[in-house]
Amino acid sequence: MAFDDLPLERTIVPSRHLHDRRPSPTRWIIAVAVILVAGAALALWWTIRERPEAAVPAPTPATNAAVASHRPARQLQELPALDASDGRIREMAAALSHHPLFMRLLATKDLMRTMALVVQQIADGRTPADALGVLRPTSRLAIVGQESGRIDPASYARWNGPTQALTSIDPRDAAQLYVNVKALLDDAYKDLGHPNPDFDQAIVPAMEILLATPDAPPDEELLRRPSYFEHTDPALRALRPVQKQYLLVGPDNRHRINDWLRAVAADLDLKVK
């Protein structure tokens, strides 16, 4: 009930007693105190009534970005020991793709250790040729010329199969499988000499070194050496070995793989440059 809704009561004093009622000093003091308290209470009520409600600040985009996460939650399932994990991993990964090359890759031994080694070698700038030998093309690189020349466009087609095998996997499914088996990859990464293993720390630099590989000029030529080819462009010749190899898969295949890598990184909330 508000102060201005309070009922006012008045006591009628008989007239014959009026001449006997003299003001008492104590009564005046009490009256003044009552008036002051009532005035203060009224002022407080008025201030509270007029005060606007404090506005709740709206969430900022930065706050929303920090809360939102694309990374899938780990699906609870029991994982075997690292050295006994091949069968279980093949079973879990078989649903990702039925591409023949992917199935051949799943048939190799020590899948988790091989994956950890491949990613670390790429992150270090090395070419994981031995670990991924099952994906190696059956034909050799060819150039248009004898001692030097451009890459024969037909040579890029050698990598169509491995590119299709990789990109046939849905990035979101790949991210989910990665989260589910990350504990095994952490163990394999630890065995490679990382005492505080977090396999995310290997995947990010591996993705970044591939994504940072520049496009070769259309007229770029290769020099034929006794057992390998070498770029004529000094900038390309200075690239890391894995980047030089990555150029040889061809611009179309490389762009498809780059798009796939970025999609997986986004699904895992990995900050990739």
Instruction: Give tens-digit pLDDT for 177-219.
Output: 999 999 999 999 999 999 889 999 999 999 999 999 999 988 8
Q: Lowest-confidence range among 62-76, 129-143, 154-168, 243-257?
A: 62-76
What confidence category does residue 25 fall into, taking pLDDT thresholds of 50, 70 and 90?
very low
In this prediction, residues 49-76 reach a mean pLDDT of 59
pLDDT tens-place string over residues 91-129: 999 999 999 999 999 999 999 999 999 999 999 999 998
**pLDDT higher than threshold 90 for residue 32:** no
Q: Tell me, what's the pLDDT at 70? A: 80
Strand arrangement of the beta sheet that strand 148-151 belongs to: 143-144, 148-151, 222-224, 229-231
pLDDT of residue 67: 55
0.75 surpassed by pTM: no
Mean of the per-residue pLDDT values for the chain?
Answer: 81
φ/ψ (deg, to 5) at 9: -115, 140
Residue 30 pLDDT exceeds 50 = no
The fraction of the chain above a pLDDT of 70, given in percent, is 75
Mean pLDDT of 33-53: 42
Contact 188, 116 (CB under 8 A): yes
The sign of the CA dihedral 229, 135, 139, 260 is negative
**Confidence at residue 138, expressed as pLDDT on a 0 to 100 scale:** 87
Domain regions of the chain by residue span: 1-10+24-52, 77-267
- Return the pLDDT at 228: 87
- Enumerate residues 6+ apart whose C-beta is below 8 A from 129: 136, 245
Whether residue 2 is predicted with pLDDT greater than 70 in this model: the reply is no
pLDDT of residue 186: 97
Q: What is the pLDDT of residue 219?
A: 86
123-181 tens-digit pLDDT: 999 999 898 988 888 888 999 988 999 999 889 999 999 999 999 999 999 999 999 99
At 68 the pLDDT is: 67
Q: Which amino acid is residue 12, in one-letter code?
A: I
